[in-house]
Amino acid sequence: MSSSLDIQFVSDIMCPWCVVGLGNLNKALDQLDDNTSVNLSFQPFELNPTMPPEGQNIREHIVEKYGISEHESDKNRAMIQARGKEVDFDFNFAPDSRMRNSFDAHRLLHWAGIQGKQAELKATLFKAHFTDNQDVSDLTVLANLAASVGLDLVEAKDVLENQRYADDVREQEQFWQKNGISSVPTVIINHKYAISGGQPVDVFKSALEEIIAKEES
């Protein structure tokens, strides 16, 4: 019997646990029965919607936002780096790494979804921000990243420079907030099941198999 999973991955490219969660989710999906069809889409969430254009130093930001010490902040990043290695991702935290405003990146991802390139762009944005320390709030950087996954450079620039899909993204963000999502990643399956956090592979796999069994019964 074939089964289908519609998966909406609510996340922000500024969120390291979203990288870990997506990596483990993809590994879990690879372990499912071949008869399971999967439609994976990415939904916008901004951890810092008021982040100014210049961004903020990542250590300074974490200490200020969560009220922890610099030592605790450094320790947390070391743990995230280790979890990243488990999903073959390199978190390259540097003294000058910065948190950025991600709204324009979400607009670009919305357009990429229409073009069938959302997953590729999502992965590229994560790498650009966390591994290469690029400014993913810069419109030129974003357009070039879009082109690197096969999207049209001229149209990408038009999307970014003319604020296309701004209303769509805000509407989606508000929808998830109204539905109780206050942290990411949150994985919504078949519009009725939710898995929160950057869970290990086996947790995702067990949850997905349980959902498939429920849907088939």
Averaged pLDDT, 192-202: 97
pLDDT tens-digit readout, 113-137: 999 999 999 999 999 999 999 999 9
Given this model, what pLDDT does residue 34 score?
86
Query: Mean pLDDT score of the chain, rounded to an integer?
Result: 96
Q: Cα–Cα distance between 217 and 211 in angstroms, integer?
A: 10
Q: Cα–Cα distance between 159 and 55 in angstroms, integer?
A: 22
Q: Cα–Cα distance between 49 and 173 in angstroms, integer?
A: 10
Q: Is the pLDDT assigned to residue 111 strictly greater than 70?
A: yes
Averaged pLDDT, 198-213: 97
Residue type at 160 in one-letter notation = L
CB-based contacts of 186: which residues, under 8 Å, 6+ apart? 10, 11, 45, 176, 194, 195, 196
Q: At 168, is the secondary structure helix, strand, or coil?
A: helix
Given this model, what pLDDT does residue 217 score?
80
Averaged pLDDT, 39-64: 95
Q: Cα–Cα distance between 22 and 9 in angstroms, integer?
A: 8
Residue type at 37 in one-letter notation = S
Token readout for 129 is 């921000």
pLDDT tens-digit readout, 168-191: 999 999 999 999 999 999 999 999
Token readout for 199 is 């869970």
Given this model, what pLDDT does residue 1 score?
64
Q: Cα–Cα distance between 64 and 83 in angstroms, integer?
A: 24
Q: Cα–Cα distance between 137 and 105 in angstroms, integer?
A: 7
Q: Cα–Cα distance between 23 and 129 in angstroms, integer?
A: 16
pLDDT tens-digit readout, 155-166: 999 999 999 999
pTM above 0.95, yes or no: yes
Rounded to 5°, angle at Cα 174 from 170 and 180: 155
